[in-house]
Structure 1
Amino acid sequence: MTLDPDLAALRPLGGFFALHTQAEGSPGPAGVLPTLARAYREPADSASPRAPDDPLTSRVRAVVRALRAPEDRIGASVAHQGLAARLWSVALGCAALYGSVPDLAPELLRWDPDGSAPDDLWLTRVRARPGNAATVAQVVVDAHLEPLCAALRARYRVAEGLLRGNAGSALASTARLLEQWAGAHGRPEVAARARGLTADLFAHPYLADAGVLTGAAFRRRSCCLYYRAPGGGLCGDCCFTRPPCTSA
């Protein structure tokens, strides 16, 4: 199935999977939004890596405010997981539904860092690539998760293992949602492709130590820190069975 310019097959899966697209050369509503390539770059003022006009800083601050988080690194972790989930959803959804994935190069994706969840993304040009696990890993891990991880570690000193765990959690959640949709709509071939791709992706070096995938269930080896936010708790795939004591 050839990719269509609107990636319309993603829309029935809901907002978590859907991606805005725009005609090539048209500024569209996202014309003033930053690209993800800009978000991953070091701010121009290297002495102030959390400059107020930096889109990644804006996103983390928005999440910190929404969670009333006591630490910036909590907001950084939750923001990271949200963006990782959106990238996985587009890539894995397209690979399972179309058999191809769009080129999601950071300079082609515009992002609204002040938007609500799930993250709003605009793809400015739809270019098809093979829908195999190696290409999905290149499109998501190499192009996005590695530079995003480096940027967040530099700005907020978030542990790399935590971020890899986030990436694994986001992939496992995406795969479960895709399989649930496929089961509800009589698309066993979509479920089978999603399951096979997910297993192959968890064998990738970036994700191999993130946790253990058993069927559709994933148990990560790290914690995303959400429990440290007021009213937060443990996620279903957390390495902990009870929230650690946070008192001094």
Structure 2
Amino acid sequence: MSEFAEVLEALRRVRGINSFFALDVGRPDESWLPGTALLDGPALKTTIDTIATRYRADEPRVAASLFFLGYTARLLSPLTAADLPVDVRPENLWWRHDPVNGLSVRIDQPRLGPPAAEALAPVVEAVQGVAPVASGLLWGNAMSNIAGALKMIVRAGLLTAEEAELRGARLMSAPPFELAGEFFSLPGEIAFRRRSCCLYYRVAAGGKCGDCPLVK
């Protein structure tokens, strides 16, 4: 099987879990921006400002965290389920954000790429250039989305809880994920507790997430 076909088949196989696992492929219409617009120009700051307004987040770092939480959810959910290093570097992405539908992403070419951490690193740096948010918090957001994806994969019957925990441990075995948190077992379920907080509790009507370290 060619790389092109392998990636398409892997993404097709997992897209039915829920909408976060549906990663579309191909060049979209003109309403979308290239992924490189995340790294250069005003689009990222404009998007984070829009998120701040929508969620009534007074601190720029809170809106920046919410942006990265949504960005990584839409990329890492399908990659975690497919267990394949699909190329999600900015140069192989398209994205858009609107106040009603939020953030959408898609890949341009169905091909393999570097590990997810390497693909996400330039966006982490770009987000930190817009708002004073800690890198550990952003990587914690990414790992939290991996853990959440694994939980959905177990519920969909594609992995057992034990298999999902092993996959999660493997994904956490290298920087920058190795300090993000820890997995622990519940009967028939996979659970995760992160070491950083995404700050969602600091938005109007926000609260603490299930994997938040602030929950006692």
Fold similarity call, TM over 0.5: yes
Which segments of structure 1 move beyond 6 Å, counting only runs of 4 or more? none
CA distance in 2, matches of 1:103, 1:88: 11
CA contact (8 A) 1:212 1:218 kept: yes
Identify the residue that residue 119 of structure 2 maps to in structure 1: 143
Partner amino acid, structure 1, of 2:92: L
**d(CA) in 1 for partners of 2:38 and 2:21?**
21
- Tell me by how many angstroms 1:106 deviates: 1.7
Secondary structure of the residue aligned to 2:150 is helix
**Does structure 1 residue 231 correspond to structure 2 residue 205?**
yes
Q: How many residues were matched structurally?
A: 208
- What's the TM-score once normalised by structure 1's chain length? 0.74
CA offsets, 1:131-151, max 9 Å, x none? xxxx7xx3421012x112111
Deviation larger for 72-81 or 118-127: 118-127
Give 1:133-212 correspondences, 5 Å limit: 138-144=114-120, 146-181=121-156, 183=157, 187-188=158-159, 194-212=164-182
1:123-177 per-position Cα deviation (integer Å, ceiling 9, x unaligned):
22112x3xxxxx7xx3421012x11211121210101221122122111111111
Displacement of 1:112 in angstroms is 0.8
Distance 1:7 1:203, change over 3 A: closer
AA in 2 matched with 1:208: E
Letter in 1 for 2:109: R
Aligned to 1:132: none
* Cα distance, 1:118–1:94 mapped onto 2, change above 3 Å: farther
Matched, 1:106 2:106: no
Confirm or deny: 8 A CA contact 2:10 2:82 kept in the other structure: no
Separation in structure 1 between the aligned mates of residue 8 and residue 92 of structure 2, nearest angstrom = 17
Q: Secondary structure at the residue paired with 2:166?
A: helix
- Structure 1, unpaired ranges of 5+: 44-53, 130-134, 243-248
Q: Quote the sequence identity (%).
A: 31
Where does 1:110-129 land on structure 2 (aligned, <5 Å)?
A: 110-114=94-98, 119-127=103-111, 129=112
TM-score, length of structure 2 as denominator length: 0.84
1:50 equivalent in structure 2? none
